[in-house]
A and B are shown apart, each in its own frame.
Chain A
Amino acid sequence: MSLVTEIDYGTPAVTSDKTVTLNIDGFDVTVPEGTSVMRASMEAGIQIPKLCATDMVDAFGSCRLCLVEIEGRRGTPSSCTTPAADGMVVRTQNDRLKKLRRGVMELYISDHPLDCLTCAANGDCELQDMAGAVGLRDVRYGYEGENHVKSRQNGEENPRYMLKDESNPYFTYDPSKCIVCSRCVRACEEVQGTFALTIEGRGFESRVSPGMHEDFLSSECVSCGACVQACPTATLQEKSVIEIGQPEHSVVTTCAYCGVGCSFKAEMRGDELVRMVPYKDGKANRGHSCVKGRFAYGYASHKDRILNPMIRENINDPWREVSWEEALSYTANKFRSLQEQYGKDSIGGITSSRCTNEETFLVQKLIRAGFGNNNVDTCARVCHSPTGYGLKTTFGTSAGTQDFDSVEHTDVVILIGANPTDGHPVFASRLKKRLRAGAQLIVIDPRRIDLVRSPHIQAAAHLPLRPGSNVAVLTALAHVIVTESLFDEAFIREKCDWSEFEDWATFVADAKNSPEEIEKISGVPADEMRKAARIFATGGNGAIYYGLGVTEHSQGSTTVMAIANLAMATGNIGRPGVGVNPLRGQNNVQGSCDMGSFPHELPGYRHISDDGARDIFEKLWSVKLNDEPGLRIPNMLDAAVDGTFRGIYIQGEDILQSDPDTKHVAAGLAAMECVVVHDLFLNETANYAHVFLPGSTFLEKDGTFTNAERRINRVRKVMAPKNGYADWEVTQNLARAMGLNWNYTHPSQVMDEIAATTPSFAGVNYDLLEREGSIQWPCNEKAPLGTPVMHIDGFVRGKGKFVVTEYVATDEKTGPRFPLLLTTGRILSQYNVGAQTRRTQNSVWHEEDLLEIHPHDAEQRGIRDGDWIRLVSRSGETTLRTKITDRVSPGVVYTTFHHPGTQANVITTDFTDWATNCPEYKVTAVQVSSSNGPSEWQVEYDEQAKQARRILPTINAAE
């Protein structure tokens, strides 16, 4: 193994139909028109010295190192800013150029420290490389004059010297090493789109400044790492590299945070992870990253991680560490005896959206083939199950229609119920880049998210709807499109069922669905809805992106179908730049759904009652499968309370914190006889567990994740599992303990089994993934290299189906006792229930969940910013602190759920999506009042959690 090095072409790739041929140092090179001479030269294998150029950002032309001679042109133009032209004859190296470059380098080095041997970037410094490349042998100027390098000069303090900024937890800014190439500033602007950096001052006084001469932490910086990546010197440097040293080998793998699925190089020294560097060939992220994927991996080696299996008879007992054999045979015996006593269906399991496809496949296989029932569900139940249902009904596949590259061809975006700058930051950066280039954005969200307005981004329309009125608003948009004849008749006639369209059109055209009527329900001004509908229908390629603000409602599935209707009606399906794009929450939630994690579906979304599909598995597994759907998570908990469901195997999900109505979840878990939690940490659910099986991180195993664009990305093992076994091995060992004859030696064999049984994965195997980097399913005979854009030649189900989307208000209503609506969301630095990110330094950005409340509502209640408040719903109450902001409308309050102490899900109700049981997290009627401290439940809960986490000290034989 060695370091995966990526070629830096100096300037970004250009796409053009026309090519030009030029001659560089005697070699002919053909490149797309518009390509820089620098890039053309690199493509010919000739590297022109450079400092301010890098291919993640546009050419700048400031370092004067990349000068070349071009026949017939005067002087020595910079190759990064000069476009290649037909017939051009370029010299990259001769005496004149050598002399010029040495002169430039000499000036750079005259104001740069010469501590290369002890510098953190030693071995990874472009300045050092370039000094070598131009043959710099001498610096004639000395350091007696003004400089930025020395802290003291001639016995006095040097006013130009600035101390290192160490405020960011993950990287340092050392101004003394800066060569003011502006790469960091441009990366922040062009790649990340935050514009947090600038060059302040001018001339010799020029410096990189975060914000207005602030430190990095208090500036607008979101710590995405793009600047660190762009820096050619040690000026911006990962603290981990400063501490450990340069990595010596690296492995390309996939981030285990959100559904964007960024590719990273895990750069290692031995088995120590030095840093994660975004991989430019990663097709989801194209070389970009966010604070979570790039920096927040410290949880993998956190002291809280449990590395030994543990069991206990009773949840009030302390944990007892045992051997793997004991833990697994204990579990197997317990499960089998429960089944003997209470019936086959008395146990079940939950697959994880954080584990690999292969692991998920094995868990559902264990349940279907080993437990002999279909009591398998997954956390997608509580997030994107309505996406599966809605898109399957309308289009025929339970997944988004596009790849992320598609956004580069989009002209109008509708963003509904998603906050990408926090939840899917790398996608947000790509979207923002397109918006800065002129695309329009329509935001449908109760809250004024950053994409409504932030530097260089201004939404064309923001519809701040009342939580729960998604369906009404989307139907009102459709009303405008239909009544103003803005629909794409040719598309609909060709690809959709015309008579269903007519039914639907009649329904949406009804006056009760007009924006004027819907304004009364949603609170959104009718004019704004009309404007938004017209922009979307007439603005060119229209794409809809959505998140959990769509699905986590009692009408989640209806909203997904309303979105599909809108896309079909405007002909925005089946080509780049359009489509319906669910932004998946977790790294492998798409994959876990694909892998048959739902009680009614076999891998590939085939219903369990489908004899043909069942037959494939029955033959391969030599078992008889139950043809009746099993229990969903809420049903399992209900059944547990009723006493019929007695045992559960939960892999990598914390249902106690993430599922709604915490008290009910707690009661369900407490009623079971054998709760097996397979996780990295003693999570909240483990408080009620009898067996704890330690899990492995994404760094410790091979496998694949499938991201929001259906892209199957490889996860590669970079270190041995600290707990001894990868998760797929643990599941296999449990299956063996239960008497199943499983003999997988590598996850690739599981993928082969998936391919053999699942048509949309038929062509997938590890060799192909190795060759192509990643593959978007469906991948089969018809599409051997996968399918970036779906439904190109018609819908998978045949004709696109328009579904009438009658608005039915949720039963959760405000009233005198609960006059406010609570909705929930996420924040950039934390992820989901926070089990990982809370165990990293990301907490400096968000150490507690806050309740956002409008100044008007706060004043009425006498609440000041930062006050402790009591948040009460019909289900329960909790306490947290407030943040007063007009981001939320009057009548709406908002919080995140990253911290277990907040207990946001004590508040949420047990209302769910009518089709899929996806909980209605996004609408809860609440009241807010002043408070002195934690609620009774929080106190009790804390106490219980503390008791439940006790581990008996292991007896050391030597003592």
Chain B
Amino acid sequence: MSLSVTTEEMSVRVGAIVDACAELEGPLLPILHDVQKEFGFVPQPALQIIAGRLNLSRAEVHGVASFYHDFREKHPGRHVLKICRAEACQSMGADRVADHARRTLNVDWHETTNDDAITLEPVYCLGLCACAPAALMDDKLVGRVDEDRLDTLIAEARS
């Protein structure tokens, strides 16, 4: 998966995704998901291609894509760490954990570490309030996160 994708290549790859979803009712969201899966993020030129293929305006596709925080505009690091900042987790010390993460990784929210290993993102409720504070490393849910457990997660991700 290369970062620099030529216009033609983009057109072919996005086109294939659109074709695969063409029969769905309301195909835009599944397409955006698949594009993010394909490229790791939703490149701006892809939105134009999708708009053209689905016969929507650029504005409409932009409106949908920008509504969802999970559709990224930039390529993320190799791993994405999400820390819950909703009420239950906050009451159990999530802010402390989050501060620790930002300090340790030396990044702010939505930023990626210099070694491109980890992108840090906030999330508002992972449905794991019983085990607050909660975090999500890539697809893996982690409960009762404290500074130590976070350090372990980060170390694993960097290894």
* A453 to B67 Cα, complex, angstroms: 27
Q: Is A194 engaged at the interface, CB distance under 8 Å to the other chain?
A: yes
* A219 to B60 Cα, complex, angstroms: 12
Q: Is B18 engaged at the interface, CB distance under 8 Å to the other chain?
A: no
One of B24-32, B51-59, B76-84 contacting the partner: B51-59
How many interface residues does A have (CB within 8 Å)?
A: 23
What is the 8 Å Cβ interface bit string for chain A, positions 430-447, against chain B (1 contact, 0 not)? 000000000000000000
CB distance from B16 to the nearest CB of A (A): 21
- Residues of A155-203 whose CB lies within 8 A of B: 194-202
Q: Decide if B55 touches A211 in the complex (CB within 8 Å).
A: no
Q: Decide if B63 touches A199 in the complex (CB within 8 Å).
A: yes
CB distance from A394 to the nearest CB of B (A): 37
Q: Decide if A194 touches B55 in the complex (CB within 8 Å).
A: no
CB distance from B69 to the nearest CB of A (A): 8
Q: Decide if A212 touches B55 in the complex (CB within 8 Å).
A: no
* A457 to B61 Cα, complex, angstroms: 16
Q: Could you say which residues of chain B place their CB within 8 Å of the CB of A458?
A: 55
- Residues of A493-524 whose CB lies within 8 A of B: none
Q: Is B110 engaged at the interface, CB distance under 8 Å to the other chain?
A: no
With beta carbons under 8 angstroms apart, the residue of B44, B47, B51, B63 that contacts A209 is B63
Given A212-B44, A212-B47, A198-B55 contact (CB < 8 Å): no
Q: Is A215 engaged at the interface, CB distance under 8 Å to the other chain?
A: no
Q: Decide if B57 touches A196 in the complex (CB within 8 Å).
A: yes
CB distance from B77 to the nearest CB of A (A): 23
* A896 to B83 Cα, complex, angstroms: 58
Given A220-B57, A455-B56, A211-B66 contact (CB < 8 Å): no
Q: Could you say which residues of chain B place their CB within 8 Å of the CB of A211?
A: 57-59, 62
Q: Decide if B67 touches A201 in the complex (CB within 8 Å).
A: yes
With beta carbons under 8 angstroms apart, the residue of A198, A201, A214 that contacts B60 is A198
Q: Is A213 engaged at the interface, CB distance under 8 Å to the other chain?
A: yes
Q: Is A210 engaged at the interface, CB distance under 8 Å to the other chain?
A: yes
Given A199-B63, A200-B63, A202-B67, A212-B58 contact (CB < 8 Å): yes
* A196 to B59 Cα, complex, angstroms: 6
Q: Say what secondary structure dominates the interface of chain B.
A: helix
With beta carbons under 8 angstroms apart, the residue of A202, A213, A455 that contacts B62 is A213
* A195 to B56 Cα, complex, angstroms: 8
CB distance from B46 to the nearest CB of A (A): 11
The size class of the interface chain B forms with chain A is: 10 to 19
Q: Could you say which residues of chain A place their CB within 8 Å of the CB of B69?
A: 202
What is the 8 Å Cβ interface bit string for chain A, positions 212-234, against chain B (1 contact, 0 not)? 11100001100000000000000
Q: Could you say which residues of chain B place their CB within 8 Å of the CB of A196?
A: 57, 59
What is the 8 Å Cβ interface bit string for chain A, positions 745-765, against chain B (1 contact, 0 not)? 000000000000000000000
Q: Is A456 engaged at the interface, CB distance under 8 Å to the other chain?
A: yes
Name the residue of chain B whose CB is nearest to the CB of A213: B62
* A211 to B47 Cα, complex, angstroms: 11
* A454 to B52 Cα, complex, angstroms: 9
Which one of B47, B48, B61, B66 has the greatest number of beta carbons of chain A within 10 Å?
B66
CB distance from B130 to the nearest CB of A (A): 27
Name the residue of chain A whose CB is nearest to the CB of B51: A455
Q: Decide if A455 touches B63 in the complex (CB within 8 Å).
A: no
Name the residue of chain B whose CB is nearest to the CB of A199: B63
With beta carbons under 8 angstroms apart, the residue of B48, B60, B66, B67 that contacts A455 is B60
Q: Decide if A197 touches B67 in the complex (CB within 8 Å).
A: no
Q: Could you say which residues of chain B place their CB within 8 Å of the CB of A197?
A: 59
Q: Decide if A198 touches B56 in the complex (CB within 8 Å).
A: no
Name the residue of chain A whose CB is nearest to the CB of B54: A455
CB distance from B45 to the nearest CB of A (A): 10
Which one of A195, A201, A453, A458 has the greatest number of beta carbons of chain B within 10 Å?
A195
Name the residue of chain A whose CB is nearest to the CB of B62: A212
* A211 to B61 Cα, complex, angstroms: 9
Q: Could you say which residues of chain A place their CB within 8 Å of the CB of B56?
A: 195, 455-456
Q: Decide if A456 touches B55 in the complex (CB within 8 Å).
A: yes
Q: Could you say which residues of chain B place their CB within 8 Å of the CB of A213?
A: 62, 66
Q: Could you say which residues of chain B place their CB within 8 Å of the CB of A220?
A: 57-59
Given A201-B67, A212-B47, A194-B57 contact (CB < 8 Å): yes
* A458 to B62 Cα, complex, angstroms: 21
Q: Could you say which residues of chain B place their CB within 8 Å of the CB of A453?
A: 55
With beta carbons under 8 angstroms apart, the residue of B47, B48, B60 that contacts A195 is B60
Q: Could you say which residues of chain B place their CB within 8 Å of the CB of A200?
A: 62-63, 66-67
CB distance from A45 to the nearest CB of B (A): 38
With beta carbons under 8 angstroms apart, the residue of A199, A202, A455 that contacts B57 is A455
- Rank and list the top 8 A-B pairs by shortest CB-CB distance, nearest first: A198-B63, A195-B57, A198-B59, A212-B62, A455-B57, A200-B66, A211-B58, A212-B58
Q: Which residues of B contact A (CB under 8 A)?
A: 44, 47-48, 51, 55-63, 66-67, 69
A selection of 28 A-B contacts at a CB cut-off of 8 Å is A195-B56, A195-B57, A196-B59, A198-B57, A198-B62, A199-B63, A202-B66, A202-B67, A209-B63, A210-B59, A211-B58, A211-B59, A212-B44, A212-B47, A212-B48, A212-B61, A212-B62, A213-B62, A213-B66, A219-B58, A219-B59, A220-B58, A455-B56, A455-B57, A455-B60, A456-B55, A456-B56, A458-B55
Q: A213-B66, A219-B59 are in contact. List 16 more A-B contacts (CB 8 A).
A: A194-B57, A196-B59, A197-B59, A198-B60, A198-B63, A200-B63, A202-B69, A209-B62, A211-B57, A211-B62, A212-B44, A212-B48, A212-B58, A212-B61, A214-B58, A453-B55
